[in-house]
Amino acid sequence: MKLTHIDDKGNAIMVDIGDKPISSRRAIAKASIYMKEQTLKAIKDGAIKKGDVLSVSRVAGIMAAKKVSELIPLCHNLNLSSVSLDFKIVDEEKKIDIEATVKCVGQTGVEMEALTAVSVAALTIYDMCKAIDKEMLITNIMLLEKSGGTSGDFKRL
């Protein structure tokens, strides 16, 4: 399998998508952040001094998705049509699962935007709670689904 971001001389390149057909694109990514029970309780109770952790993290994730081409060198600048983030608190595992869905109509996919959204949302949770819990663990960052484009659909089993 040939890498698309490397030319015949081994140089990094931005893939030319000019001739690719425009299609509806969607990607869903996930991340998890584990924490102490007291940290999770403080988030749920709204007792974190920096503010509403999940609301701020949601906005951070949306903003991050819109900035991917500035953060990851070979990514294209995309006109996103939708970015949404959802949080699921899992008390018994002392974690928050973060899921981002990103959509656009264009010539390249939005996988990196969804992955960046969940990553930055998790980092924002860490930043807002680090005063009470420096042992938080961000893990399981992964693409769950993608649709659209010539490579077809993908769904993690």
Ramachandran angles phi, psi of 154, nearest 5°: -140, 135
**Model pTM score:** 0.95
For the segment 40-84, what is each residue's pLDDT rounded down to a tens digit?
A: 999 999 999 999 999 999 999 999 999 999 999 999 999 999 999
To the query of whether residue 19 is one of the catalytic residues in this protein, the response is no
**139 within 8 A of 31, measured Cβ to Cβ:** yes
Among 52, 127, 133, 153, the active-site one is 127
**In the Cβ-directed half-sphere of 80, how many Cα atoms lie within 13 Å?**
24
Q: Which domains does the chain have, with CATH numbers?
A: 32-148 (3.30.70.640)
Q: How far apart are CA 11 and CA 21, in angstroms?
A: 26
For the segment 89-134, what is each residue's pLDDT rounded down to a tens digit?
A: 999 999 999 999 999 999 999 999 999 999 999 999 999 999 999 9
